[in-house]
Amino acid sequence: MPDSQEGSVFSMKKFLYVFGLFLLLFGSFLAGSWYKQRETAKVGPSGVNSSAVNTDLRSGTDTVTDTDSMPPGSVKISPEKQQAIGVQIGLVQKKPMTRTLRVLGRVAPDEKRVYRLVAGTDGWIRETYDNDTGTLVKKDERLAAFYSPQFRAAQLSYIALVGAGGEDRFKAGGRQALAPSQQASVSLQTYIDALESLGMSEQQMKELASTKQITDKVYILAPVTGFIIARNVSPGQRFEKGFEWYRIADLSRVWIFADLFGNEEEYMRPGMKARVTLPDQKKEFHATVAKVLPQFDPNSRTLKVRLELDNPGYTLRPDMFVDVELPINLPPAITAPADAVLDSGLKKTVFVDLGNGSFEPREVETGWRFGNQVEITKGLKPGERIVVSGNFMIDSESRLEMAAAGMYGTLSKDPVCGVDVSPNKAEKAGRKSAYQGKVYYFTSDECKKQFDKNPARYVKE
């Protein structure tokens, strides 16, 4: 009996020992789970200690969401985060600008130097010579020969008068040497005019006066040294009066039509100098803007500005494309890098550096744009600092800030200070007034006081 009691006591002690060990392990497990949950709550889903974030926010080392004291959409970003997203700041300045406008141009012949050789009577082409389209011909060079029955009677009358003493007067200087008081001279001049109107050159009339032989070939001569840009003759061809035989262009001086957009026309002035280059050749020319209005091209929707220039060596040919550089001198203006302006299609925004890592979204209006510079006509003042790089990330932060505040797309205009204001923030601060059934919100107490003194003045404005 004593042995059985002793065994029972030993078993009880063993049970209590195991049970106590189990309680100790279970208690340790519960304590560990509680500590882990506490740390997880501190860290948060992003893996960053929430207490550290709160400390950083209070000390300005991350994006600050409490922006009640700043304009709507403003954010505050730490220097470390600015460096991470590549934020760069630029200074707004007002100064005169000199820019180079680069446009594409097309070469065209000078209209005053284009000669059209037209038939003065009906006839036939007798002969043609080696002068295809694009050939350079010299002045008075024979291009073709033709015949017309009307020449015979005119040549007979002309030879008869020349044989009566008109030859010496013709050789002495043509029509300028004729004495209008002499009847013979007047008659001779009449037949000279008749031959010229039919298409005979002065050179061939001199030969006719010398040889006194009627010819059945009247030569078409080049009136100037130039290029044949149109040729419409062939041997045996029948033509009528008014038919164009040849078209010859003197390319010693040419035009260039440069394509400009509508907002670029205002910078063009007659007499402006331009630099013209060929894209595939190292040749440079100097042109002048002509004194004519630009022509509108409905196909390209551009304005054609005409430039004039000399063409030594006939380097520039019709329909060639050239690069045109026009120096533009602009009056003093507020400018900013084009990358600093965020254009949503409905408005244009820049971010102004308020200092201490704070950035304010500012709506602006723009003017001209050349290269990477754009004119700011409204919204900025000289001396302000703006974000010129990394503004897309700041814009995302600003949109999130406005969305979190529940005011995105619902801003109101302060009638006194003229800036956007969040109705939610203004109402919380008590900066609102009612007038004629409409509620107005203000960015500061001072703006509200001025409105309350004379609301009709600001509502009218």
The domain that holds 351 is classified in CATH as: 2.40.420.20
Q: Is the pTM of this model over 0.85?
A: no
Provide the pLDDT for residue 222.
93
Nearest to 114 by CA among 311, 257, 254, 245: 254
Which pair of structure tokens corresponds to residue 217?
Answer: 């070939």
Which pair of structure tokens corresponds to residue 192?
Answer: 């000279």
> Number of structural domains, the chain?
4
Q: Are residues 135 and 79 in the same domain?
A: no
Q: Are residues 437 and 325 in the same domain?
A: no
Is residue 48 included in any domain, yes or no? no
Decide: 382 and 93 in contact? Cβ < 8 Å: yes
Of the residues 303, 331, 359, the one at which a domain ends: 331
Provide the pLDDT for residue 53.
34
Which alpha helices (H) appear in 90-200, and where do they start and end? 150-161, 167-171, 183-198
Q: Are residues 82 and 178 in the same domain?
A: no
Q: Are residues 174 and 281 in the same domain?
A: no
Q: Are residues 273 and 237 in the same domain?
A: no
Provide the pLDDT for residue 125.
92
Is residue 392 included in any domain, yes or no? yes
Q: Which amino acid is at 317?
A: R
Q: Are residues 311 and 350 in the same domain?
A: no
**Residues shown for the chain:** 461
Q: Are residues 106 and 120 in the same domain?
A: no
Is residue 64 included in any domain, yes or no? no
Decide: 87 and 436 in contact? Cβ < 8 Å: no
Decide: 154 and 191 in contact? Cβ < 8 Å: yes
Is residue 63 included in any domain, yes or no? no
Q: Are residues 233 and 141 in the same domain?
A: yes
DSSP 245-314: EEEEE-TTEEEEEEEE-GGGGGG--TT-EEEEE-TTS--EEEEEE-SSPPEEETTTTEEEEEEEEE-GGG
Decide: 242 and 118 in contact? Cβ < 8 Å: yes
Degrees, nearest 5: CA angle 273-277-279: 150
Please state, in angstroms and as integers, the Cα–Cα distance from residue 296 to each residue in 117, 264, 293, 303, following that order.
30, 13, 9, 5
Of the residues 271, 302, 331, the one at which a domain ends: 331
Summarize the chain as % helix, strand, coil (round to 5): 35, 35, 30
- Residue 350 CA to residue 14 CA, distance in Å, equals 79
- Residue 434 CA to residue 427 CA, distance in Å, equals 12
Which alpha helices (H) appear in 112-222, and where do they start and end? 150-161, 167-171, 183-198, 202-211
Provide the pLDDT for residue 9.
53
| φ and ψ at residue 234, rounded to 5 degrees | -155, 150
Q: How many CA atoms lie within 13 A of 50 on its CB side?
A: 9
Is residue 351 included in any domain, yes or no? yes
Is residue 61 included in any domain, yes or no? no
Q: Are residues 122 and 241 in the same domain?
A: yes
Q: Are residues 454 and 387 in the same domain?
A: yes
Q: Are residues 234 and 153 in the same domain?
A: yes
Tell me the pLDDT of the chain (461 aa) as tens digits: 444 555 555 566 666 666 666 666 656 655 555 555 555 444 443 343 433 333 333 333 344 444 455 666 778 888 888 888 888 888 888 888 888 888 999 999 999 999 999 998 899 999 999 899 999 999 999 999 998 888 887 778 777 777 655 445 445 444 444 444 455 556 777 777 778 877 888 888 888 878 888 888 889 999 999 999 999 999 999 999 999 999 999 999 999 999 888 777 777 888 999 999 998 888 899 999 998 888 888 888 888 999 999 999 899 999 999 999 988 888 888 888 888 898 888 888 888 988 888 888 888 888 888 778 888 988 888 889 999 888 778 877 777 766 655 554 466 788 888 777 777 777 777 888 988 888 888 878 888 888 888 888 888 75
Provide the pLDDT for residue 65.
43
Q: Are residues 341 and 448 in the same domain?
A: yes
Residue 262: which domain range?
100-110+255-331
Of the residues 231, 249, 267, the one at which a domain ends: 249
Provide the pLDDT for residue 345.
81
Is residue 49 included in any domain, yes or no? no
Provide the pLDDT for residue 445.
84
**What sign results for the dihedral spanned by CA atoms 165, 169, 175, 180?**
negative
